[in-house]
Amino acid sequence: MFMDQVSERDWLYLLSSVPGLGRVKLRAMYEIAGSFKEAMKKWDSLSHELKLSASIMKEGNQLRNETVALKILRERISNGIQYVCFLDEDFPDQLRHIPDPPLVLFYRGELQLLKKPAIGVVGSRKPTPYGRASCSYLVKELVQAGLVIISGLAYGIDGEAHETTLKNNGKTVGVLGCGIDQVYPPRHRALYEKIATFGLLLSEYPPGTPPVPGLFPERNRIISGLSMGILVVEAAEKSGSLITADCALEQGKDVFAVPGPIFSSLSMGPHNLIKQGAKLVTSSFDVLEELGYPLIPETEPRHRDYLNQNLLDKEELAIIDIVTHEGIHVDDLLAQVDPNMRKSLHQVLFRLEAKGALVALAGGYFAKR
């Protein structure tokens, strides 16, 4: 009988492709029948017992047809769809023990990254220049310490964390809130492909699953589950990033928060976390020390005194006096500098960035390190 010839993990793949049949029902099905193979043999009675909808019952029944099932499995292979499930030894052990663990993880890239120490980085989708600068600064140091950076590939802090990691030859994992073959947000297509090539993309949702809003909060438990802790960089009081922090706390993980200006609404999330006991972070050492992770020599001291070390010339010092840690747009710099410096401003900014005094941010902003 062909049902006995299909492996247990392939039956899980087939069932996970049924629209509307989520992990909760799949888990219940497995526990009642003892295996997915047995569940398919008892599909009619099991469907009624679990009160599955008529459409799910119909889709499941079709999978019992040898031609239909084998066609789907062949398409998976021809489309290069890779997955790891809870039945496999390679399934990340840290996810087996979280509340509501995923049953399947579809992936592109280097699956072995899940065996390395990692930290999740999340934050606002519309960060300030200060938030971007903080994220870039901290992630660069965490990468240099050897940590894998995990985030959700969203706009803002997520994208900044991924980009900074790749720019510094680090490894990053993007956890999607849609199918592994869906690029969301669309403008992150280039980043998506970079991560697939040099890092790892993960999704618990079958290929073809569109980016439905309700799926993004769900994927946050995977970001925190794979991480030793979660670093929050800018978040409004009711930001989705705080869901990830809550997941981390529920899983017994550390939560780290970057403080911000008291007048910024995006500081409310991190500040509330700090009030509730999250670790206040001003450098990577705060994170590494809390995690008991080996500290690295501080090759680029954050509080370097450029004035006393005479590292900057007169023009560079003039720019440093204007630029803040929160960031300033190049147009505002042009308006504030001496008229004689306007022609050479971009060259001076390039030199300051090369010396590590400034960091260039998206949108034409520069911030003091």
State the DSSP string of 290-345.
HHTPPP---SS-TT--HHHHT-S-HHHHHHHHH--SS-EEHHHHHHHS-GGGGGGH
H/E stretch holding 149: strand 148-151
Residue 88: how many CB atoms within 10 A of its CB? 12
pLDDT digits (tens, 9 = 90+) for 75-97: 999 999 999 999 999 999 999 99
Tokens at 220, concatenated? 């946050």
* Cα three-residue angle 273-274-280, rounded to 5 degrees: 125
Q: Which CATH architecture has domain 306-368?
A: Orthogonal Bundle (1.10)
Sign of CA dihedral 266, 361, 169, 202: positive
Q: What is the pLDDT of residue 264?
A: 92
Q: What is the pTM of this model?
A: 0.83
Q: Can you tell me the distance from the alpha carbon of 47 to that of 73, in angstroms, rounded to the nearest whole number? A: 23
Sign of CA dihedral 52, 56, 57, 60: negative
| Mean pLDDT value across the chain | 91
Residue 284: band (very low, low, confident or very high) from pLDDT cuts 50, 70, 90: very high
Q: Do domains 111-291 and 306-368 have the same CATH topology?
A: no
For 330, phi then psi, to 5°, come to -60, -30
Q: Which fold has domain 111-291?
A: Rossmann fold (3.40.50)
Residues forming a β-bridge with 367: 359
Q: Where are the domains of the chain?
A: 2-79, 111-291, 306-368
With a cut of 80, say whether residue 295 has pLDDT above it: no
Q: Can you tell me the distance from the alpha carbon of 111 to that of 84, in angstroms, rounded to the nearest whole number? A: 9
**Is 166 within 8 Å of 158 (Cβ atoms)?**
no
Q: What is the pLDDT of residue 342?
A: 85
Strand, coil or helix: 240: coil
Count of residues in the chain? 369
Q: Can you tell me the distance from the alpha carbon of 178 to that of 192, in angstroms, rounded to the nearest whole number? A: 13
Mean pLDDT, range 115-124, rounded to an integer: 97
Nearest to 342 by CA among 331, 351, 350: 331
Residues 6+ apart with CB under 8 A from 128: 234, 260, 264, 266, 326, 327
pLDDT digits (tens, 9 = 90+) for 173-210: 999 999 999 999 999 999 999 999 999 999 999 999 99
Q: Can you tell me the distance from the alpha carbon of 119 to that of 228, in angstroms, rounded to the nearest whole number? A: 5
